[in-house]
A and B are shown apart, each in its own frame.
Chain A
Amino acid sequence: MLCYDYYGSVTVVIIQKILSLYIIIVFLLAGLNCHKQPSEKHDQFVLKIGSIHRAKSKNILYDNALGHFTMISHPPLLKLETDGRFTGILAEQFSYSNDYTIWKFKIRKNFYWSDGLPVKPEDIKFSLLYKGKHLPSRKWMGKLIKVIDIDQKGDIVCTLAKPYTRFDIEFTSVRILPRHIWKGIKNPERWESPRLYTGCGPFIIKDIDLNSGVVSMVRNPFWKGKSPQLDRIEIHMYHNPDVLSLALKRGDVDTYYKYADTFPYGNISSLRETGLYKIKKCTESGFIFLGFNLKKQPLDDHSLRQAIVYALDYQEIRKLITKGFGQIPQKGFVPPYFRFYHPTEPLVRDINKARKILEGSGYRDLNGDGILEDREKQPMKLRLVSTLIYTRLSELVKDYLNQIGIQVQLQILDPMTWIHTKDRYQYDLTISRTTPWGMMMHAGWSTGYFDYRRSGQGVLHIIDDPDYIHLCDAILSTKDPHQLKVLARKIQEYHAAHIPAVALISKTDVIPSKLNLSGWHHDPLFGIYNLSSFLRLKLTYADH
């Protein structure tokens, strides 16, 4: 029997008991469970993909992350091959009229929705009209497509309101929906139901659990194409890339996926040490670039832009930012793997040349304080704006410009403020990136980032030079490869000569994959996350 002679002792004993109980419970739980993964059938081949794309709702039509993930459950009509050609997924073949106003798609007959019904041309027609009506990002489609018909052969015929040569590119990302499921839904933005997961790809969504952070996909029972070895795909969503790297290190997931991005370079060596992964180098996913505000002084001055290009240390950027995995681009602002790539002047550091150009253009240090004065005899001070992920790179750029006597006021902004600032041209310099889709948009060859008639999240819209606009329009008016080759060369030469932006580094996508997995395919637009990958993937030995 316990007997306490004063109040204090009772409190102490109770607290001690609570503490010991807590410690016992914690370690008992830890010891008993030792982080067991839920048991899986031994013969099941489950691919676990770690991603920092995070689904924030279960709405497959509106959620950005689910938009990426459902590319394999709701495949589009076409896909882009690495050589720049378009081939069919749901469409067997496609053709267009000479004036690019009538586009015809022949639909494959061996695609079935996961509820057993065949994919019909009506589903494609419905998807185009439905998205054009409901999705803000696809409203242009509703305006561009005048009529959609299904001809006697069952082909889809789109008649456009005006000639459009890039219609095929758009169909690499338009997911097709089952008409019989979606036709009664008037407010798709408010709908979240497992019934809407009905897809026609080899894998369909089984469950989206936001609290556990897992999107599960299983085989489509009515898939008639090549049979995949994979039984299930789990996409594990992490909020932080470093934690995802730790999860990979522990072997929790098999690979890493982020659209248009690489596994963090800084974590590669520690992952290699585990001996669990092979590190696959893919083609570059895009540039990180320094954009110049051509719309106002002083960066409307070509000589100043030229001097800045020579002041930057590309080798050091490659070493520090991409840990040696990136490639140093050229002035043409188009990567070598791109169709009709044309070599232009390589980017090299020449600080003396930079100084000479500045001096020759009237930028001189008049008072000997190490800072150049401009033509109005005011100290040179440029405003560089970027977002948090480019902080280190922005500091490097600031340092390089300081070395040639240009002061830089660095402002790190949140993404929304950056967009606001960029769209109002309230900057001199800015750092951003290109994406595979971005390089293809508008007239392609990165023109979508520069043409002043464009708008969008990463678009600078800084060139209103009639020569450039004419070049873009010329590209947009043809699909003739010979003409395109000539025009693509001219666009790249224009970029090299006028320098609207300088590509600081071309990132090489580095993707870790468990040693026993083989068969990955790298899609030029969507990286490793594509139908071919999941249909080809196999285990190279049987202890998965």
Chain B
Amino acid sequence: MIFLLGEDAVVDPETVTELKKELGLDKPIHIQFLNYFLDVIQLDFGYSYHLRKSVFNIILSRIPWTLGLLLFSIILGAVLGIYSGALAGWKSHKSMSRILTQLNILFFSAPPFFMAILIMAVFAIQLNLFPIKGLYQSGTFMDIVQHHILPVAVLTLITFARNFIIMRGCILQEKNKPYVIYAKAKGVSGKKLLFKHVMKNAILPVISLLALDFGFLFSGALFVEIVFSLNGMGTLIYDAINSRDYPLIQGIFMIITLMVVSANLLADWIHQLLDPRIRKEK
């Protein structure tokens, strides 16, 4: 209630009772719960007390920006992480591999907000290359792209580091297996062996993790959105939790759950495509 009214507002108990009645919070909890589920079936996630709009409309206005941010970061982080992680695992004896591994452990361990501030301080403040606030300023395509480069770079770095470390570990496990030694004995050359045979087996755990990234990156996006003052899903979740905007919280988590489940289904399908053993089991 307090968040509806502001910091210095003082209301009497009668007003609070009136407000509760107006918002349907005076009904028994099981009735409120039942009403909620009946509405959810019709894609009505309720009404945000705090933002005074339909939850579905609020999410619809915010999700494209965050999805854009996440999709770019997940794809770029996956491509870069898998590729360089595979090479680093394959040529683990090389000093470049060791340096990259140390660096990625550092990136992966660093809190996202710290990474975001650091990158902003270097590229936006010191070098004055990028804007530091908002999804756009003038609204042109180039302007939107420019506003997204640093946030995407931060999220990419996080997924890149994670994918790199996992991919490198998987390649290290795979590269001494008998089929690799056999292929080498047959004269299959280095990169062909890595990218055609070893990577197919090593990539499976990374694909499973990529599906989970949709859920995980929403929390990563929160920090990035706060640092870059972006009006996306991350800040929406943060504000909803802080203001105890339960209909909005429920709506957001419902959508995230749907996305994570869909991404997992997609990951299962890719697994089948890549791994004949799973196809055979079916």
Name the A residues within 8 Å of B195 (CB-CB). Answer: 7-9, 11-12
Q: Which of A8, A31, A416, A454 is close to B243, meaning CB atoms less than 8 Å apart? A: A416
Name the A residues within 8 Å of B225 (CB-CB). Answer: 239
Beyond known contacts A29-B145, A243-B120, A252-B132: 19 more, CB 8 A cutoff: A7-B192, A8-B191, A8-B194, A12-B83, A15-B79, A15-B83, A31-B129, A35-B131, A56-B50, A136-B19, A140-B15, A211-B65, A239-B230, A239-B235, A242-B117, A416-B243, A441-B8, A441-B10, A457-B7
Q: Using a CB–CB distance below 8 Å, which chain B residues touch chain A?
A: 2-13, 15, 18-19, 50-53, 65, 76, 79-80, 83, 117, 120-121, 123-125, 128-139, 142, 145-146, 149, 153, 189, 191-196, 225-231, 235, 239, 242-244
When A239-B226, A246-B120 are in contact, do A137 and B125 touch as well, CB less than 8 Å? no
Number of A-B pairs whose CB atoms are under 8 Å? Answer: 171
Per the bound structure, the CA–CA distance linking A26 and B151 in Å amounts to 12
Closest to B188 in A: A6
Per the bound structure, the CA–CA distance linking A265 and B121 in Å amounts to 19
Name the A residues within 8 Å of B5 (CB-CB). Answer: 136-137, 457
Is A62 touching B52 in the complex (CB atoms < 8 A)? yes
When A9-B191, A139-B11, A456-B8 are in contact, do A416 and B229 touch as well, CB less than 8 Å? no
Q: Which of A232-264 touch B at CB < 8 Å?
A: 236-240, 242-243, 246-247, 249-250, 252, 259
Is B11 touching A6 in the complex (CB atoms < 8 A)? no
In the assembled complex, 24 residue pairs joining A and B whose CB atoms fall closer than 8 Å, in A order, are A6-B191, A8-B191, A8-B192, A9-B192, A12-B83, A12-B191, A15-B79, A26-B153, A30-B130, A35-B131, A59-B52, A67-B6, A139-B12, A212-B136, A212-B139, A238-B133, A238-B229, A239-B227, A243-B120, A414-B242, A441-B10, A456-B2, A457-B2, A458-B8
Per the bound structure, the CA–CA distance linking A252 and B120 in Å amounts to 14
Is B196 touching A212 in the complex (CB atoms < 8 A)? no
Per the bound structure, the CA–CA distance linking A437 and B10 in Å amounts to 12
Closest to B136 in A: A212
- A-B pairs with the 3 shortest C-beta distances? A8-B195, A137-B9, A6-B192
Closest to A440 in B: B8
Per the bound structure, the CA–CA distance linking A526 and B55 in Å amounts to 33
When A35-B130, A242-B117, A243-B229 are in contact, do A19 and B6 touch as well, CB less than 8 Å? no
A459 within 8 A of B: yes
Name the A residues within 8 Å of B138 (CB-CB). Answer: 38
Closest to A437 in B: B8
CB distance from B63 to the nearest CB of A (A): 13
CB distance from A12 to the nearest CB of B (A): 6
Per the bound structure, the CA–CA distance linking A67 and B244 in Å amounts to 21
Name the B residues within 8 Å of A189 (CB-CB). Answer: 52
Is A137 touching B6 in the complex (CB atoms < 8 A)? yes
A540 within 8 A of B: no
Name the B residues within 8 Å of A34 (CB-CB). Answer: 128-129
Is B128 touching A239 in the complex (CB atoms < 8 A)? no
CB distance from A84 to the nearest CB of B (A): 18
CB distance from B281 to the nearest CB of A (A): 26
Name the A residues within 8 Å of B134 (CB-CB). Answer: 211-214
Per the bound structure, the CA–CA distance linking A11 and B197 in Å amounts to 13
A89 within 8 A of B: no
Q: Most chain-A Cβ atoms within 10 A of its Cβ — which of B5, B136, B244?
A: B5
Q: Most chain-B Cβ atoms within 10 A of its Cβ — which of A31, A62, A67, A212?
A: A212
Per the bound structure, the CA–CA distance linking A63 and B152 in Å amounts to 30
A337 within 8 A of B: no
Q: Which of A448-500 touch B at CB < 8 Å?
A: 448, 454-459
Q: Which of A139-153 touch B at CB < 8 Å?
A: 139-140
A57 within 8 A of B: yes
Q: How many residues of A contact B (CB 8 A)?
A: 64
Closest to A250 in B: B125
Is A56 touching B2 in the complex (CB atoms < 8 A)? no
Name the A residues within 8 Å of B227 (CB-CB). Answer: 239-240, 243
Closest to B127 in A: A30
Closest to B145 in A: A29
Is B128 touching A35 in the complex (CB atoms < 8 A)? yes
Q: Which of A177-199 touch B at CB < 8 Å?
A: 189-190
Interface 1/0s, chain A 21-34, versus B by CB < 8 A? Answer: 01000100111011
Is B11 touching A140 in the complex (CB atoms < 8 A)? yes
CB distance from A285 to the nearest CB of B (A): 13
When A8-B191, A416-B242, A416-B244 are in contact, do A240 and B120 touch as well, CB less than 8 Å? no
Per the bound structure, the CA–CA distance linking A139 and B129 in Å amounts to 50
Q: Most chain-B Cβ atoms within 10 A of its Cβ — which of A33, A35, A252, A454?
A: A35
Per the bound structure, the CA–CA distance linking A11 and B129 in Å amounts to 32
CB distance from A298 to the nearest CB of B (A): 29
A18 within 8 A of B: yes
Per the bound structure, the CA–CA distance linking A339 and B81 in Å amounts to 65
Name the B residues within 8 Å of A38 (CB-CB). Answer: 137-138
When A38-B137, A246-B121, A246-B132 are in contact, do A456 and B9 touch as well, CB less than 8 Å? yes
When A29-B149, A139-B15, A239-B227 are in contact, do A8 and B130 touch as well, CB less than 8 Å? no
Closest to B121 in A: A246
Name the A residues within 8 Å of B129 (CB-CB). Answer: 30-31, 34-35
Interface 1/0s, chain A 412-453, versus B by CB < 8 A? Answer: 001110010000000000000001011001000000100000
Name the B residues within 8 Å of A438 (CB-CB). Answer: 8
CB distance from B144 to the nearest CB of A (A): 10
Per the bound structure, the CA–CA distance linking A35 and B191 in Å amounts to 41
Per the bound structure, the CA–CA distance linking A522 and B150 in Å amounts to 37
Name the B residues within 8 Å of A161 (CB-CB). Answer: none
Is A435 touching B11 in the complex (CB atoms < 8 A)? no
Name the A residues within 8 Å of B226 (CB-CB). Answer: 239-240
Q: Most chain-B Cβ atoms within 10 A of its Cβ — which of A12, A64, A67, A243?
A: A243
Q: Which of A11, A211, A250, A459 is close to B136, meaning CB atoms less than 8 Å apart? A: A211
Is B11 touching A137 in the complex (CB atoms < 8 A)? yes
Q: Which of A33-82 touch B at CB < 8 Å?
A: 33-35, 37-38, 56-57, 59, 62, 64, 67
Is B8 touching A457 in the complex (CB atoms < 8 A)? yes
Q: Most chain-A Cβ atoms within 10 A of its Cβ — which of B10, B65, B121, B129?
A: B10
Is B2 touching A210 in the complex (CB atoms < 8 A)? no
Is A136 touching B65 in the complex (CB atoms < 8 A)? no
Name the B residues within 8 Å of A30 (CB-CB). Answer: 123, 129-130, 146, 149
CB distance from B217 to the nearest CB of A (A): 18
CB distance from B190 to the nearest CB of A (A): 9
When A140-B12, A414-B242 are in contact, do A237 and B128 touch as well, CB less than 8 Å? no
Name the A residues within 8 Å of B10 (CB-CB). Answer: 137, 140, 441, 448, 454-456, 459
Q: Which of A81-99 touch B at CB < 8 Å?
A: none
CB distance from A215 to the nearest CB of B (A): 12
Per the bound structure, the CA–CA distance linking A238 and B226 in Å amounts to 8
